[in-house]
């Protein structure tokens, strides 16, 4: 990776460690200007400098973009190398001159050269990344549960689970083991790289908005940790008395009884009447235990946006829930090496994907492939929106069913 000149008199260069503070400062300014020193130091320790880009105007850093070397679970359970695109910003003094476009182009070329078939990101605004071939591939669930009015029906075994308070750092290894056991079972989950376990413990006082420090409970059965929850509480008083909120930060459980025992704890904390949760999987089990889903105010929003950087390798890396044999005519203006016809043959055991000159069965862009890749958005739905064309009758249903996933995708944390 050398230095290159963009068409707008800014240069792209690889970030040097000694420039990190300036680089990070530019990023923070673009994100509203407030960030804690603890966050800066964590970011510094996680930053992969050789994959971080700075856009320069003279000596001034006017653009930032980074990538983490993740492995992401895909349908079928394989953990596939995926560039976690992050820390993207352009100085407001240099906006809308193509700086982001030049960074995205360079970054995707670098990802391809590293042999990573996928890139994934959380978008600050969903309108930004479609033009670069990313598709919104997963959703996340947000809810504000009125725990004074909503009750839970618990499954058998919940009473056998012991829930106890713990210091988050003291039980970190046990919590990480729970997380790691869940990674292969859900598309979108990220295998934790060394150092990333500390992200869940980041707790700067300046960002608590009046809530408590991070609290933690672990769930145990027969002395083994089978789940955990990290949360904050914020006590409030209204005209009718207490009106506190529990803010859930993270919850993971190895089995339904543990999961339910943790939700029971969160629903039942005294003086709290709202349980606020965000970034949860769309099939979070509490939804099927509550007495009144309306008073939980569930909402969906986009989470991970996926980009197939090497379409053939990415499609061959996952499995398909039913047999599929289709020729895809792929449009990819931003990464032209992907454009053209590919034959995808797959089933629940594996897949292959090769260039072909055979007639196409489906025509779509790389963005639709990104959206449907983790099994959370169906090709049929995209076709109804006019974004996938069926050229051979029957091919759309065949491919759409095959691309699905019995477990909805979920990206467990931002980056």
Query: Do 104 and 123 contact (CB within 8 A), yes or no?
Result: no
Q: Which is nearer to ligand ACO, 107 or 400 (CB)?
A: 107
Query: What's the closest the beta carbon of residue 51 comes to ligand ACO, in angstroms?
Result: 14
Could you tell me which residues are annotated as the binding site? 88-90, 96-101, 124-125
3-state SS, the chain, equals CCCEECCCCCEEEECCHHHHHHHHHHHHHHCCCCCCHHHHHHHHHHCCHHHCEEEEECCEEEEEEEEEEEEEECCCCCEEEEEEEEEEEECHHHCCCCHHHHHHHHHHHHHHHHCCCEEEEECCCCCCCHHHCCEECCEEEEEEEECCCCCECCCCCHHHCEEEECCCCCCHHHHHHHHHHHHHHCCCCECCCCCHHHHHHCCCHHHCCCCCCCEEEEEEECCEEEEEEEEEEECCEECCEECEEEEEEEEEECCHHHHHHHHHHHHHCCCEEEEEEEEECCCCHHHHCECCHHHHCCEEEECEEEEECCHHHHHHHCCCCCCEEEEEEEECCCCHHHCEEEEEEEECCEEEEEECCCCCCEEEEHHHHHHHCCCCCCHHHHHHCCCEEECCCCHHHHHHHHHCCCCCCCCCCCC
Q: Which is nearer to ligand ACO, 90 or 277 (CB)?
A: 90
* Residues at the contact surface with ligand ACO, assessed by CB under 6 A: 30-31, 85-90, 95-101, 121-125, 127-128, 131
Query: Do 203 and 213 contact (CB within 8 A), yes or no?
Result: yes
Positions annotated as catalytic residues are 129, 415
Q: Which is nearer to ligand ACO, 57 or 144 (CB)?
A: 57
Could you tell me which residues are annotated as the binding site for acetyl-CoA? 88-90, 96-101, 124-125
Query: What's the closest the beta carbon of residue 54 comes to ligand ACO, in angstroms?
Result: 13
Query: What's the closest the beta carbon of residue 65 comes to ligand ACO, in angstroms?
Result: 7
Query: What's the closest the beta carbon of residue 103 comes to ligand ACO, in angstroms?
Result: 8
Q: Which is nearer to ligand ACO, 104 or 251 (CB)?
A: 104
Query: What's the closest the beta carbon of residue 186 comes to ligand ACO, in angstroms?
Result: 21
Question: Residue 252: how many CB atoms within 10 A of its CB?
Answer: 21
Q: Which is nearer to ligand ACO, 129 or 231 (CB)?
A: 129
Q: Which is nearer to ligand ACO, 61 or 217 (CB)?
A: 61
Query: What's the closest the beta carbon of residue 32 comes to ligand ACO, in angstroms?
Result: 9
Q: At what angle do helices 20-30 and 37-46 cross, to 10 degrees?
A: 120
CA angle 305, 311, 314 (to 5 degrees): 75
């Amino acid at each position: 990776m050398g230095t290159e000149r963009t068409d707008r008199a800014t240069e792209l260069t690889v970030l040097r460690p000694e420039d990190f503070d300036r680089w990070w400062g530019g990023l923070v300014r673009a994100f509203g200007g407030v960030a804690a020193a603890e966050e800066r130091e964590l970011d510094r320790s996680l930053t992969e400098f050789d994959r971080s880009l700075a856009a320069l105007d003279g000596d001034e850093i006017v653009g930032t973009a980074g990538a983490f070397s993740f492995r992401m679970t895909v349908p079928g359970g394989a953990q596939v190398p995926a560039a976690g695109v992050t820390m993207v910003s352009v100085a407001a003094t240099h906006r809308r001159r193509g700086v982001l476009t030049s960074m995205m182009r360079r970054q995707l070329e670098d990802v391809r050269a590293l042999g990573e078939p996928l890139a994934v990101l959380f978008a600050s605004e969903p309108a930004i990344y479609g033009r670069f071939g990313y598709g919104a591939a997963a959703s996340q669930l947000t809810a504000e549960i009125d725990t004074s009015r909503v009750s839970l029906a618990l499954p058998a075994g919940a009473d056998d689970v012991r829930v106890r308070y713990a210091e988050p750092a003291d039980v970190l290894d046990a919590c990480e083991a729970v997380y790691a056991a869940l990674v292969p079972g859900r598309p979108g989950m990220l295998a934790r790289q060394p150092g990333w376990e500390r992200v869940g413990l980041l707790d700067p006082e300046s960002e608590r908005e009046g809530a408590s420090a991070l609290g933690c409970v672990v769930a145990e059965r027969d002395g083994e940790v089978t789940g955990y929850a990290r949360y904050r509480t914020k006590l409030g008083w209204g005209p009718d008395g207490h009106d506190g909120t529990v803010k859930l930060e993270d919850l993971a459980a190895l089995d339904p009884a543990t999961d339910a025992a943790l939700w029971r704890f969160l629903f039942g904390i005294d003086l709290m009447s709202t349980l606020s949760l965000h970034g949860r999987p769309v099939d979070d089990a509490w939804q099927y235990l509550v007495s009144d889903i309306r008073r939980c105010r569930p909402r969906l929003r986009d989470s991970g946006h996926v980009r197939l950087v090497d379409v053939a390798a990415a499609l061959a890396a996952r499995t398909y829930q039913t047999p599929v044999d289709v020729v895809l005519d792929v449009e990819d203006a931003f990464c032209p090496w992907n454009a053209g016809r590919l034959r995808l043959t797959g089933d629940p055991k594996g897949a292959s994907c090769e260039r072909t000159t055979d007639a196409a069965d489906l025509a779509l862009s790389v963005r639709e492939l990104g959206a449907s890749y983790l099994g959370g958005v169906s090709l049929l739905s995209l076709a109804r929106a006019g974004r996938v064309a069926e050229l051979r009758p029957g091919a759309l249903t065949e491919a759409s069913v095959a691309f699905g996933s019995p477990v909805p995708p979920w990206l467990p944390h931002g980056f």
